[in-house]
A and B are shown apart, each in its own frame.
Chain A
Amino acid sequence: MSGRIYLGELEELILLMVALIDKEAYGVSITAALEAQTGRVISISAVHAALHRLEEKGFVKSKMGGASMERGGRRKRLFQITAYGRQTLEELRDVRNMIWTQILNT
C-alpha cells in the first residue's frame, strides 16, 4: 500500500467505529458509538455517505442483515472492516505514534 491513503478525518473515525463494533455495525449503531466515544453528533445521512465511500474504497464490506421489529421489518446493512481497512488504520496509527515519539523526545 504505497502512496497516500485517502481517508478523511470523519471516515477514519467511522472506520474505527466499524472495527470497534465488529458484528453489529450499521448506520444507527455507528452513529450511537460515535456519540458515545467522541461526543460528536453526526447526522445519519453523513454516516451513510461515509460508509458508502469507505465501501467504494474497499475499507469495509457489507451484507444485508436480518430484519427486526424496531426497524418496521426492514433489514439493516451490516458493515465489516476488511483486511485492507484494518491495515490502513494500523498504518495511520503507526505514523502518528512515530511522530508522537519524536515530539515527546524533544
Chain B
Amino acid sequence: MATYPQPPKWAETLIERLAPEHLAEEIKGDLYEMFLTDMKRFNERNARRRYAWRVIGFLGKTFFWKGPTYQTQNMTGNYFKMAKRSLLANKGTTTINVLGLVIGIASALAIISIIRFELSFDTFHTDHQNIYRLVRVSGADLSEFRTGVPYAITPAMKDISSIKKMTKLEYLRGASVDVLSADGKFERQFIEEEGVVTVEPEFFDVIDFAGSPIKWISGDPKTSLREPSSLVITRTVAKKYFGDESPIGRTLRFQKVFDFKITGVIEDFPSNTDFPFRMLVSYASMPLLFKDRMSDWVSVNDGHAVYVVLHDGVEVKDVEAQIAKIHAANVGKDLAEYRHYFLQPLREVHFDPKFGTFSRRTITHETILALKLIVLCLLAVGCINYVNLSTAHSTMRSKEIGMRKIMGSTQGNLILQFLAETLIIVLVASFAALGLVAVFMPSLAAMLGLQVSINFSDPFLWITLALIIAIVTISAGLYPALLISRFNPLTAIKNRFAAGRVAGISLRKTLVVFQFTATQVLAVATFIVVAQMDFFRNVDMGFDRNAAVVTIRLLNNDQASLSSFESELRRLPFVENVAKSFTLPSGVDRNRNSRNIGKPEANDVQDFQNYEYSAIDENFLDLYGIRLIAGRNLTPADSSKNILVNEALMKNLGYTNPQDIVGAELKLGGDGLVHVVGVINDYYGNSLKERVDNIALDANADRYRQVSVRLNLAAGQNMTDVLTQLEQTWKSIYPEHVFQFRFLDDNIAMFYEQELKYSRLFQVFSTMFVLIGCLGLYGLITFVANRKGKEIAVRKTLGASVANIIVMFSREYIVLITVSFALAVPIAWYGVNEWLMNFENHIDVQWWLFAAPGAIVLAIALAVVCMKSFNAAIANPVDKLRNE
C-alpha cells in the first residue's frame, strides 16, 4: 500500500465515524478521487490540506447529519412477512409449538386467576393490615386451635388502650327461618345452613368493605343494627324470601321462637371474603338467644368471634399480654393456664387452616407456592418445546440463514427476524389460550367451588397476558435466535451437518430432561394425593362409615314428638335402626362441646383432660357399629351422671385396662362426679387430618338434636322414594319444620372437600404437563425421523428390521426419561412428605407410588416415540433413496 499516497488519517477516521452508513462509501470515494487528482496537481501536503478542508465542508452540511430516507424504512413489516412465510412453510412444527404454548399459557392464566382470587380475600377493608382476630389456643401443648371467645371477655377488653376499634359477632349455623305474614301468621319455612350472624353496628367500622362494591340498599349500619331483634338481609335473601315485595318491616321467626324485624337490606357480600354473611341480626339480640351465658367467662361457642383494630405501631404481644391478664383475673387458675388467647392478623386468616373461617375455606401459603411453581413449570415446558424444535429446525434453515447473511443481513436483523417469528407464535397462542380459558374457566371454577371468572375488562388480565407474552417470547425465542444468527454463512451453506452439531444437542437433552422431571414430579404428586384421598375415603374410622345412614336434624327437643317420630320411623319397611343423639359420630355437621374431666383427686390443670361430650341413646352404638370394649351400654334409665368413655380418654386418664375404669368415679371440671359404666373403641370424630379426640357419652335425653336412620334397602328400591317417605313421616309429626337430612358418608366426605378439589386440580394440570411434554417429543421425533430418512432407508436395505429401527429411535428417549425420573423422585419425595405431614393419619409413601406414575409417563412418551418412528421404519426405502 506504500505506493499509494494516503489522505490525512484523522480526517478519514472522522468521515468513517460520522458519515451515515448509506453515504459513507460514495463520500469517501469522491474525496479519495479528488485527493489523487490534487496529488498530481499540487504537492502532498497541499493535497492533504485540501482533503481535510473538504471533510470539514461535509460536516457543515445538513444532509450529512440526516438519517437515511430510503433503503431500510420497511424492515419491521418485512420481519413479520418473513416470519409468516417461514411459519407457514413448517406447518407441523408451528402447530406443535402453538399447541404447547396454548396449553401452557391457558393453564397459567387460569392458575394466576385462582391465585389472585385467593390472595384478594378481605384485602378491601380500610384497616385490613391492622385488623386482628382473637383466637383461642388450648391444651397443655397448645394443640387445640379454635376461634370461639367467651362472651364476657370482650366487654372487659374495652379498657385496653391499644385497641382502636373492636367488634364481636356470633356466627349461627343451621338456622330455621319462618316467614310470617303481615298479620303474624306462619307462611313458609326456610333453612339457612350458612350466613346467619349477629353483628354490632361497629362491625361495619371494622370490616368496612370499603374497597368492594357492597352498599346499603335501605337502612344504614348505624341505626339498622342498633335495636334488639332487628335484622338486615342481603339482596339475594330478600329476593328469595319476598320476591319483589319490600322486605322492610316484615318479621322473620328464627328457630320457631325469636321474631326479628327486617330493618335494612344490603347488597350481597363479595365472593372473596371470609365474612360470607347473608342475614345479619343485631348483636343487641344476643341476650335473647343466649340469656345468662352472656356473662360467662368459661364456656365457649366456636361461632363467637371477636375482631379488633389496633393502633398503628402497637406491639401485638403487649395486647395479648393484657388480654391474658384480664382472662386470668376472671377464671380459675387451671383454665388460665390451660387456655390462651392470641391475636391473629386478618391477612393470615384465609391462609391458616388451623382456625378455619366462616366461609369454611382456607388455602395454605404452601399450596399457593405450589400453584405458582406449576405456573412457572407449565410456561417453562411450553418454552422448552419451542426452543427444542427451533434449534432442531435451525439445521434445516442453515441455508436460508447463510443466504441472508451473504445478502447483507446483520446479526441484529436475524435476531429480530427470529424474535418476530416467536412473537407471532406466542401471540397466536396467547389469544387462543385466552379463548380457551374463557370457555373452560366456569367449569374449572365450579369444580373447585371458587367464584373466579375471566373478566375481559380487567386491566390485570391484559397486563398479565402482556407479561406472559413478553417473558415467553424472550425466553423461548432468544436462545434459538442467538444461536441461529451466529451461524457462519459459509459453513451454513456448504455443510448443514456441521451446523447441526452447533445446534446444541446436549442442551436439547437437558431441556427434555427438565421437562420430564417437572412432569414426573407432578405425576407422582398426583398419585400420592389421590392415594391419600382414597385413604381418607376408605379407612376404618372406628365406626361403620359405609352404612346407609340418613341423619335428620331436630329443631326442638320435645320428647313426645321425638318418640312418636321414632316409632313412626321404625314402622317403615326399609328402616333398620333408629338412634337419637346430640350429634353425629363424625362429619362436618357435628357439633362439638367440650369440658374438662379428671380423676376425683384432680386439682391442677395438668390432671384434667379436655374431652368432647355428647348424648346418645341405647341404639346409637349398635347403629354405628361402635364396639363396647368393657362395661355395659347406656340405657334410657341412665342419668347424665353415667357415662361411656372412649379408649383415648381412658388412656389419657391413666388407665390401661378397660376393666379398671368401669365403675370408676370421675370428676368433671367444676361440675361434680360422674360414673363410668363402659368403654368404647376410639373413633374419629374429626377428620383424619387430626387425632382421635377424648370422647365421653351420656344418655341425657334433653340434649338430643339428631336422629340417625340406618336404611336397609331392598334390591331395586329407589332412594328418592325412601327420602320422600321419610319426609312424609317427618311432616306428619313436625308440620312446620323443614325436613333437613344428610347422608352420613356425604357428611364425612365434606371434611376433605378442599383437599379433593385441589387433588382434582393437580390431576388436570399433571395431564397438561404430560400433554405438552408429549407434543414436544412428537415434534422432535418427527423432525429426527425426517432427517434420518435416508439413514433408516440404508439400514433397512442392509437388513435392519422395523423393531431394530424403533429401538434405535427410542433408546435415547428411554435414557432421558429414566434420568428425569431419577431426578424427579427426590423432589417429589420431599414435596409429598411435607404435604402428608399436615395430616395426623396418612398413607405410607410406598415405592409403587413413584414407580407407577414414572412407568405411565414413560409408557406414554414411548408410545408417542414408537408411533412416529414406526411410521418412519415401515416406509419403503426406495422412496427415500430414489432421489439424491
Interface residues in chain A, defined as those with a beta carbon under 8 Å from any beta carbon in chain B: 26-28, 31, 43-46, 48-49, 52-53, 56, 64, 67, 70-72, 74-77
Contact = CB atoms under 8 A, between A and B. Distances in A.
B68 to A, nearest CB: 11
Given A44-B30, A44-B57, 4 more contacts: A31-B34, A45-B57, A72-B4, A74-B25
Contact of A74 (B26, B61, B62): B26
B58 interface: yes
Interface in B36-67: 36-37, 54, 57-58, 60-64
Nearest to A49: B61
A53 B27 CA distance: 16
Nearest to B12: A72
Interface string B21-35: 000011111111110
B24 to A, nearest CB: 9
B73 interface: no
B61 A28 contact: no
B63 A49 contact: yes
A37 B27 CA distance: 23
Contact of B30 (A26, A46, A56): A26
B32 A72 contact: yes
Contacts of B63: 48-49, 52-53
Contacts of A26: 26, 30
10 contacts: A31-B34, A44-B31, A48-B30, A48-B63, A52-B63, A75-B25, A75-B29, A76-B29, A76-B30, A77-B26
A28 B31 CA distance: 8
Contacts of A28: 30, 33-34, 37
B34 A44 contact: yes
A53 B62 CA distance: 10
B715 to A, nearest CB: 97
B69 interface: yes
Interface of chain A, helix or strand or loop or mixed? helix
Contacts of A46: 57, 61
Contacts of A77: 26
Contacts of B36: 70
A67 B26 CA distance: 10
Contacts of B58: 44-45, 48
Contacts of A76: 26, 29-30
A75 B36 CA distance: 16
Nearest to A67: B29
Contacts of A56: 69
A50 B310 CA distance: 79
B54 A44 contact: yes
A85 to B, nearest CB: 17
Interface range, B side: 20 to 34
A28 B38 CA distance: 12
A71 B57 contact: no
A75 B57 contact: no
Nearest to B35: A72
Contacts of B60: 45
Given A28-B33, A49-B63, A52-B63, A75 B26 contact: yes
B30 A27 contact: yes
A56 B67 CA distance: 13
Nearest to A27: B30
B701 to A, nearest CB: 106
Contacts of B33: 28, 70-71
Contacts of B4: 72
- Residue from B27, B30, B57, B58 with most neighbouring chain A CB atoms (10 Å): B30
A71 B64 CA distance: 20
A64 B60 CA distance: 24
Interface in B56-100: 57-58, 60-64, 69
B69 A74 contact: no
Contacts of B25: 64, 74-75
Nearest to A30: B30
Nearest to B61: A49
Given A53-B63, A70-B36, A43 B29 contact: no
Contacts of A70: 32-33, 36
Contacts of B61: 45-46, 48-49
Listed from nearest, the 4 A-B pairs whose CB atoms lie closest are A74-B29, A45-B57, A27-B30, A71-B29
Q: Which of the listed residues A26, A53, A70, A74 has the most CB atoms from chain B within 10 Å of its own CB?
A: A74
Contacts of A52: 63
A40 B29 CA distance: 22
B57 A27 contact: no
Contacts of A49: 61-64
A10 B57 CA distance: 17
A44 B27 CA distance: 9
A53 to B, nearest CB: 7
A7 to B, nearest CB: 17
Nearest to A44: B54
Nearest to B54: A44
A48 B27 contact: yes
B37 to A, nearest CB: 8
A82 B330 CA distance: 107
Nearest to A77: B26
A70 B34 CA distance: 9
B545 to A, nearest CB: 90
A31 B37 CA distance: 13
Contacts of B26: 26-27, 64, 74-77
A56 B4 CA distance: 36
A49 to B, nearest CB: 4
Contacts of B34: 28, 31, 44
A26 B30 CA distance: 8
A53 B63 CA distance: 8
A48 B61 CA distance: 9
Given A28-B33, A48-B63, A56-B69, A72 B57 contact: no
A62 to B, nearest CB: 9
A85 B36 CA distance: 32
B738 to A, nearest CB: 89
A67 B64 CA distance: 22
A98 B32 CA distance: 44
Contacts of B69: 56
Nearest to A72: B32
A82 to B, nearest CB: 15
A44 B61 CA distance: 11
Given A45-B60, A48-B61, A71 B54 contact: no
The winner among A45, A49, A53 for most chain B CB atoms within 10 A is: A45
Contacts of A44: 30-31, 34, 54, 57-58
A10 B866 CA distance: 78
B70 to A, nearest CB: 9
Contacts of A31: 34
A72 B31 CA distance: 10
B27 A71 contact: no
Contact of A43 (B27, B32, B57): B57
B28 A43 contact: no
A56 B31 CA distance: 22
Contacts of A43: 54, 57
B849 to A, nearest CB: 72
